[in-house]
Every structure is written in structure tokens, then in C-alpha cells.
Amino acid sequence: MKVSLFITCLSDMFFTDVGKNTVEILERAGCEVDFPASQTCCGQPAFNSGYLKEAKQSMKQMMRSFRDSEYVVGPSGSCVGMLKEYPKIFAGDSEWEEAAKDLADKSYEITQFLVDVLGITDVGSTFKGRVTYHPSCHMTRILGVKDQPRTLLQHVKGVELIELPVAEDCCGFGGTFAVKNADISREMVKEKSRHVSETGADYLVGGDMGCLMNIGGRMRREGKQVEVVHITEILNTH
């Protein structure tokens, strides 16, 4: 099966291991992975800030980049969720409507792809540690991916999964919200960090580096020892 990796700009520049792990997991699952190098950003920072015209420019670039792909798989519920919104955004635009629908239809978040498309629930990895999982908002509420990450984590040998209190609560990232409403964002991430500590877990796992960078950045500032890892790291440890 041919899969095009949608790396997301954040992981491309800041969290390259997420991309490496994603590629290796997909290859181990028997996929042939390519990387369309003309891909950039999904457009979410502009779209969510109200800059539709500007967002559409990056969205068009993404549609051009993945035009020939069979499947598009990315390590972020939020960014893949953005791709899924393209058909709504380009509805009525005769030039782009089809491409928007095409890209949305063939795009998957990595855990969603593994479980729903490849039918894999056990990737055969081993990871020793007490782990708690933060289900990011866009992954669960926009993309509708709720169970897949848990299913995969539950099958990893050595993982002790501990429930995060009020897990569904937003961490306070919200893209530009974190800067525009820094005070509110701070209170939200403090609360999330407290909930993570309450679990006593050694690792905080998530499927979106945006949220993890926020929670991790705060916990580090608080001097907490909890390690923050993207789910692909756990799924690619042997």
C-alpha cells in the first residue's frame, strides 16, 4: 500500500523524531512511504485566526502536493482534522471543490490509519512505563478519533495505562490563543499539568505535538519529571 506522509510543519521543524517514527511504523506495517516535498502547512494557524484568504493559499498548496497520493497519513489529529474541513471551506469553488474532497477523503491520522484502514491493533512494540494519555480536542471532536490511540496503547507490551482525570479538557494551547490570551492559556495548562501529576505517570502520551509542546513546556517550567512523548514513539519502541 502506498502512503504519503503528511509531516505537519511543527514536526517537520521541531519534532523530527515524530516523523521518523511514523515512517518506520508504516513501513513495518507493510506500507511504502513517500514524502511529497512540496507540502507545507495545513493552513490552520491562519484559518483559526480568521484569515480565510491567507489560509486558502496554504490549503491549495497542500492539495497540489498530495494530488497523486493514494493515502495521506499524518501524526496529528489537529492538522489532519484541518484537511478534513477543506471540502466545507472550498464548497462552491469549482476549481478546488473536487480536490478538497479528494484530499479530505484520503487523509488519516496515524492511529486512525493503523486501526481503521490497516486493521492493526497491535503494532508489536514494547515500552516499559506508567503512561497517561491526553486525547487532544481536535483529534477527538473534529476528527472523531477517540478509541484508536487507546486501543493501540493497550496492546503495547509493558505499558501501564493510567486514566488522566478530566482527560477531555483542553490543555489551553489553541494555536494563537496561547499568545493572544496568554493568561487564560496559562491557567488552563497549569490545570492540565496538575492533572497529569495526579496520575503519577512517568510518561504523558498524546497524538498532537501542539498540545504536547504546550503541556510539556509547562511541566518542564514547573520542574516536573514527567516525560512527554508522541504516541508514535511508543508504537515504534522495541
Partner 1 sequence: MSVKIGEAPYKERITKGIENDFMREAVSSAQGRFRAGRLTRAEELGNWEDWRQLGEEIRTHTLENIDFYLQQLSDAVSEKGGNVYFAETAEDANHYIQNVVKKKNAKKVVKAKSMVTEEIGLNDAIKDLGVEVVESDLGEWILQLDEEAPSHIVTPALHKNKKQIRETFTKKRGYDQSDDPEELAAFARKELRKDFLAADVGITGCNFAIAESGAITLVTNEGNAEMVTTLPDTVVTVMGMERIVPTWEEMEVLVSLLTRSAVGQKLTSYITAYGGARLEDEIDGPDDYHLVIVDNGRSKILGTEFQAALHCIRCASCINVCPVYRHVGGHAYNSIYPGPIGAVITPLLDGYDDHQELPYASTLCGACTEACPVKIPLHEMLIRHRQILVERENKAPMSEKILMNGFAKWSSSPAAYKISTKLARPALTPWIKDKDRIENGPGPLKGWTDVRDFPAPSKKSFRAWFKERESDSHEHSK
Residue 12 CA to residue 10 CA, distance in Å, equals 5
Shortest distance (Å) from residue 51 CB to partner 1 = 4
DSSP H helices in the chain? 9-13, 16-28, 44-48, 52-65, 77-89, 97-106, 110-112, 137, 148-154, 177-180, 182-199, 209-221, 231-235
> What is the contact surface with partner 1 in residues (CB under 8 A)?
5, 7, 9, 11-16, 18-20, 23, 35, 37-41, 43, 45-55, 57-58, 60-61, 65, 137-138, 141-142, 168-170, 172-175, 177-189, 191, 213-214, 216-218, 220-221
By C-beta, is 40 or 126 nearer to partner 1?
Answer: 40
Shortest distance (Å) from residue 100 CB to partner 1 = 16
DSSP 126: E
Identify whether the C-beta of residue 99 lies closer than 8 Å to the C-beta of residue 89: no
Shortest distance (Å) from residue 17 CB to partner 1 = 8
By C-beta, is 28 or 130 nearer to partner 1?
Answer: 28
By C-beta, is 144 or 200 nearer to partner 1?
Answer: 144
Shortest distance (Å) from residue 179 CB to partner 1 = 4
Shortest distance (Å) from residue 193 CB to partner 1 = 9
By C-beta, is 60 or 71 nearer to partner 1?
Answer: 60
Shortest distance (Å) from residue 117 CB to partner 1 = 22
Long-range contact set of residues 165-169: C-beta below 8 Å, sequence gap at least 24: 165/195, 165/198, 165/199, 166/195, 167/133, 167/134, 167/135, 167/195, 168/135, 168/137, 168/140, 169/195
By C-beta, is 123 or 188 nearer to partner 1?
Answer: 188
C-alpha cell, 99: 480536490
By C-beta, is 38 or 94 nearer to partner 1?
Answer: 38
Residue 122 CA to residue 27 CA, distance in Å, equals 15
